[in-house]
Amino acid sequence: MISKASTDITATSSRRTFLKAAASIGLSIPFLIDNARAQQAGRKSRILIAYYSRTGNTRTVAEQIQQLTGADIFELKTAYSYPAEYRATTDQAKREQQENFRPQLTAQVENMADYDVVFIGYPNWWATMPMAFFSFLESYNFAGKSIVPFCTHEGSRLGRSVEDIEALCPQATLLQGFSLRGASDGTIRTASADAQEAVRDWVGELELAGLS
């Protein structure tokens, strides 16, 4: 069981801070409420969650955010599979970084232009996101959109991933991110009650929890 103190939340602790930031980019509470109404009416969400997950830890967080926000969800999958053994996977991930490799993705997001807010979730591999997310972020125009990063990790939190996202999407607005300890041994730590409470707290601070 993970204690609340060990969840490594990097989200802002001030609701006022978020509201001020949201106002600066035109992201208002009515917009967020409209997203929920769109979902109830069967129309497409204006919020997307895009995630990559190898062990299921990041997937668990993404699915909880979806439950809290009513967002659409998209799982990144590469054209090839990573090794089943954890160390072999990390070795391959390191080679991909060193070679600045862009993995081929098996599917694309339909109508990306319709989304105003995009959550992106990933495991922290060698201090940043998997190279699959480099492929993803370079495939679309994120100008004018808000990006909300979240990751699972084994001690490195968000690493330099936020800086990498900013470099890939210079015309997007990055909102405060979130990090949560996962596990490399196949244990879904993010499914614990304390971990789920941490996600709820973070989403609540983003003024998104009322969308459920």
Whole-number pLDDT of residue 195: 87
pLDDT tens-digit map of 61-108: 999 999 988 899 999 999 988 898 888 999 999 999 999 999 999 999
Residue 19 has pLDDT above 60, yes or no: no
- Compute the distance between CA of residue 72 and CA of residue 120 in angstroms, rounded to an integer: 12
* Residue 49 DSSP SS3: strand
Q: What is the mean pLDDT of residues 116-125?
A: 94
Whole-number pLDDT of residue 31: 47
CB burial of 89-101 (b: ≥16 within 10 Å; e: otherwise) equals: beebbeebbeeee
Q: What is the mean pLDDT of residues 22-31?
A: 42
Domain that holds residue 132: 4-211
For residue 58, give Cα distances in angstroms to 102, 117, 123, 129, 200: 21, 19, 6, 12, 15
Whole-number pLDDT of residue 204: 85
pLDDT tens-digit map of 35-48: 655 555 565 679 99
How many Cα neighbours within 13 Å face the side chain of 75? 11
Domain total of the chain: 1
CATH code, domain with 16: 3.40.50.360
